[in-house]
Amino acid sequence: MSNKGLLSLMGTLLLFSFFISRRVSFILPDYIPQPVYSIPFDPINNDTVQLGRMLFYDNLLSANNEVSCASCHNSYNAFAHTDHDLSHGIYDSIGNRNAPALFNLAWQTAFMWDGAIHHLEAQALAPLHDSRELGSSIQELITKLQSSSFYQAEFFKVYGDSLINSKRVLQSLSAFELSLVSLQSKYDRVKQGKEVFTEQEKQGYLLFQNHCNRCHTEPLFSNFEYLDNGLPIDSILLDYGRFIVTNVEKDKFKFKVPSLRNLSYTFPYMHDGRFDKLRQVLVHYGNINSHFRGTDVKSIPLSFNKQSNLIAFLLTLNDEAFVFNKEHAFPERLKTELIKD
């Protein structure tokens, strides 16, 4: 579906405290800014999150009942799609972009590589209606859920009645996605005085601060802006990035700056997944010709040893506690229901 079609269709956090009866609280270390996303429903509670989690993993969302959100956003890959450079959907359809990792969404005000979506509650409509992804529709999904006694009971548990409508489905999905917070890496432990960097990690951190921090701003490691990083356009995909949304010439080739957290799990890199290794990314940034189209990023040539130091620091941003958190994985209740069927 085109962005225009999608727009017409539409017409923290947990890891630190996800608890107490039902409500989810936002308790953050002092170096982490407050979330900026305006949540249109209150409160976010654990029951809503768990319902969204089941929907996220359920193949019912796709037209052929074989693909789910988790097919492209795997919890063990920090909710990215490690196996493929481009997203894969129903009937092995191939998308035109790499599936972005899903975490720390509460610190963002727009979503997707081109920022086409400003409301997380509406974001699920994009893959749901895209013929290359889930290939379904919100109406078809509601019909399926309404015919399920399992989901009737689950919606009753959350909302006090068995009414299943688009608002509740999309709200539940967004609640789960907002609960995906990754702030427990070695970097975070160092910031909290619980660990120290190795000498190589220290050297890499200095390089990062001098060369990378302007775009991949601490502590979330993105400024969440849209920039042209000098990648040559793919001659087959012909993806012009944010320009597709704004139709503003200066937005050509600009894509959202991704977070550098969890890089060990979220490869391949870039909006089209063209790089498999971090060193390939650094080689690209060391050979940018900013004159051929006026990119937003200047060339950053680094020696092999300096590249190694920088990579050593970047690996401190991996959050194993987040990636292997069983509360994010395939829900046992849904697994039990599928076995019964």
Find the DSSP H helices in 182-242.
186-191, 199-211
DSSP state for residue 192 in the 8-state scheme? T
175-207 pLDDT, tens digit per residue, is 999 999 999 999 999 999 999 999 999 999 999
* Confidence check: pLDDT of 339 > 80: no
Percent of the chain with pLDDT over 90: 83
* Confidence check: pLDDT of 43 > 90: no
Domain residue ranges of the chain, discontinuous segments joined by +: 3-182, 186-318
Q: Per mean pLDDT, which range of 15-19, 39-43, 239-243 is the poorest?
A: 15-19
Q: Is 241 helix (H, G, I), strand (E, B) or coil?
A: strand
- On whether the CB atoms of residues 254 and 322 are closer than 8 A, the answer is no
pLDDT-derived band at 26 (thresholds 50, 70, 90) equals: low
**What local confidence, expressed as pLDDT, does residue 193 receive?**
97
Mean per-residue pLDDT for 158-170?
A: 96
The yes-or-no answer to whether 3-182 and 186-318 have a common fold is: yes
**What local confidence, expressed as pLDDT, does residue 14 receive?**
34
**What local confidence, expressed as pLDDT, does residue 302 receive?**
97
Query: Measured between alpha carbons, how far is 27 from 12 in angstroms, rounded to an integer?
Result: 6
Look at 27 and 327; give whichever has higher pLDDT.
327
- On whether the CB atoms of residues 259 and 101 are closer than 8 A, the answer is yes
Q: Per mean pLDDT, which range of 82-96, 179-193, 269-283, 300-314 is the poorest?
A: 82-96
97-137 pLDDT, tens digit per residue, is 999 999 999 999 999 999 999 999 999 999 999 999 999 99
* Confidence check: pLDDT of 292 > 80: no
CATH number of 186-318: 1.10.760.10
* Confidence check: pLDDT of 8 > 60: no
Mean pLDDT across the chain, nearest whole number? 91
Q: How far is CA 129 from CA 79, 126, 141, 162, 304, in A?
A: 20, 6, 10, 25, 45
* Confidence check: pLDDT of 340 > 80: no
- Residue 68 neighbours by CB under 8 Å, 6+ apart: 56, 57, 58, 59, 61, 62
pLDDT-derived band at 291 (thresholds 50, 70, 90) equals: low
**What local confidence, expressed as pLDDT, does residue 314 receive?**
98
Look at 28 and 9; give whichever has higher pLDDT.
28
Look at 303 and 24; give whichever has higher pLDDT.
303
Percent of the chain with pLDDT over 70: 90
**What local confidence, expressed as pLDDT, does residue 183 receive?**
97
* Confidence check: pLDDT of 16 > 50: no
CATH class as words, domain 3-182? mainly alpha
Please state, as a whole number, how many other Cβ atoms lie within 10 Å of the Cβ of residue 64: 12
pLDDT-derived band at 290 (thresholds 50, 70, 90) equals: low
Query: Residue 205's closest CA among 335, 334, 317, 296?
Result: 317
